[in-house]
Chain A
Amino acid sequence: MPDQLIFAMEVILNGLLNGVMYSLVALGFVLIFKASGIFNYAQGVMALFAAMTLVGIQQGRVPFGHLINAIFGTDIHYFGWEVPALAAILMTVLIMIAFAYLVQRFVFKHLVGQEPIILFMATIGLAYFLEGVSDLMWGSEIRNLDVGLPQGINDWIDVTTFEALGYGFFIDNLDIAAAIIAAILVMSLIAYSQYTKNGRAMRAVADDHQAALSVGISLNYVWILVWSLAGMVALVAGVMWGSKSGVQFSLSLIALKALPVLMLGGFTSIPGAIVGGLIIGVGEALFEFAIGPMIGGATENWFAYVLALVFLVFRPQGLFGEKIIERV
Chain B
Amino acid sequence: MLDQSTGGYTTADGRKIGDVVMEMRGITLRFGGVEAIKDISFDVREGEIRAIIGPNGAGKSSMLNVISGFYHPQEGEVLYKGSKRPPMKPYQVARQGIARTFQNIALFEGMSVLDNVMTGRLNHMKTGFFAQGLWWGKAEAEETKNRAKAEEIIDFLEIQAIRKTPVGRLPYGLKKRVELARALAAEPQILLLDEPMAGMNVEEKEDMSRFILDVNDEFGTTIVLIEHDMGVVMDLSDRVVVMDYGKKIGDGTPDEVRNNQEVIDAYLGVSHD
Q: Do these two chains really belong together in a complex?
A: yes
The interface of chain A, by Cβ under 8 A from chain B, is 188, 191-192, 195-201, 203-204, 206-208, 210-219, 322, 325
- B109, A208: Cβ atoms closer than 8 Å: yes
Task: Name the distance in Å between B3's Cβ and chain A's nearest Cβ.
Answer: 34
CA distance in complex: A208, B178 (Å): 15
Q: List, in ascending order, chain A residues with CB within 8 A of B58's CB.
A: none
Main secondary structure of the interface of A (DSSP, over half): helix
Which chain A residues border B106 with CB–CB below 8 Å? 208, 210-211, 214
Known: A192-B129, A208-B107. A200 touches B91 (CB 8 A): no
How far is A210 from B179 in the complex, measured between Cα atoms in Å?
12
Cβ of B199 under 8 Å from chain A: no
Q: Chain B residues near A201: list those with CB within 8 A.
A: 119, 122
Q: Which of B73-81, B132-140, B209-217, B222-230 contacts A (4 or more CB under 8 A)?
A: B132-140
Residue contact A215 to B186, C-beta cutoff 8 Å: yes
**B interface residue numbers (CB < 8 A to A):** 68, 70, 89-92, 94-95, 99-102, 106-111, 115, 118-120, 122-123, 125, 129, 132-135, 143, 168, 182-183, 186
CB distance from B189 to the nearest CB of A (A): 13
Contact of A215 among B70, B111, B132, B182 (CB under 8 A): B182
Shortest distance from the beta carbon of B107 to any chain A beta carbon, whole Å = 6
Chain A to chain B: the 7 pairs with minimum beta-carbon distance, closest first: A216-B94, A211-B106, A207-B108, A213-B90, A196-B132, A197-B125, A196-B129
- Please tell me if the beta carbons of A216 and B123 are within 8 angstroms of each other in the complex: yes
Task: Name A214's contact: one of B102, B125, B132, B134 (CB within 8 Å).
Answer: B102
User: Shortest CB–CB separation between residue A222 and chain B, in angstroms?
Assistant: 10
Are A192 and B133 neighbours in the complex by a CB distance under 8 Å? yes
Measured between alpha carbons, how far is A321 from B70 in the docked complex, in Å?
A: 32
Q: Contact check, A204 vs B68: say whether CB atoms are below 8 A apart.
A: no
Given A198-B129, A203-B111, A325-B168, output 19 extra A-B contacts at Cβ < 8 Å: A192-B133, A195-B132, A196-B133, A200-B115, A200-B119, A204-B111, A206-B110, A207-B109, A208-B107, A211-B102, A211-B106, A211-B108, A213-B94, A215-B120, A216-B92, A216-B122, A217-B119, A218-B89, A322-B110
B100 CB to closest chain A CB (Å) equals: 5
Contact between chains at A204 and B119 (CB < 8 Å): yes
The CB with the most chain B CB atoms within 10 A, among A198, A212, A215, is that of A215
**27 sampled A-B residue pairs with Cβ under 8 A:** A196-B132, A196-B133, A200-B118, A201-B122, A203-B115, A207-B108, A207-B111, A208-B106, A210-B102, A210-B106, A211-B108, A211-B182, A212-B91, A213-B89, A213-B91, A214-B94, A214-B101, A214-B106, A215-B99, A215-B120, A215-B123, A216-B91, A216-B94, A216-B122, A217-B91, A218-B91, A322-B110
Contact A216 B95 (CB under 8 A): yes
A210: chain B residues at CB < 8 Å are 70, 102, 106
Most chain B CB within a 10 A radius of its CB, from A191, A196, A216 = A216
* Cβ–Cβ < 8 Å partners of B90 in chain A: 213-214
Q: Are A197 and B95 in contact (CB under 8 A)?
A: no
Residues of A within 8 A of B92 (CB): 216
In the assembled complex, how far is the CB of residue B144 from the closest CB belonging to chain A, in whole angstroms? 13
In the bound complex, CA of A185 to CA of B272 (Å) = 72
Bound complex: CA of A196 vs CA of B134, how far in Å?
9
Q: In the assembled complex, which residues on chain A have CB atoms less than 8 Å from the CB atom of B68?
A: 214
Q: Which single residue of chain B is at the shortest CB-CB distance from A207?
A: B108
Q: How many angstroms between the C-alpha atoms of A247 and B110 in the bound complex?
A: 39
Query: Do A215 and B133 have beta carbons less than 8 Å apart?
Result: no
Cα A179 to Cα B125 with chains together (Å)? 34
A206: nearest residue on chain B (CB-CB)?
B110
In the assembled complex, the Cα of A139 lies from the Cα of B118 at a distance in Å of: 49
Q: How many angstroms between the C-alpha atoms of A196 and B70 in the bound complex? A: 27
B79 to chain A: closest CB distance in Å? 21
The answer for the CA separation of A200 and B129 in the assembled complex, in Å, is 11
| Cβ of A191 to closest chain B Cβ, rounded Å | 4
Return chain A residues, CB-CB under 8 Å to B95.
216
Contact partners of B89 in chain A: CB under 8 A: 213, 218
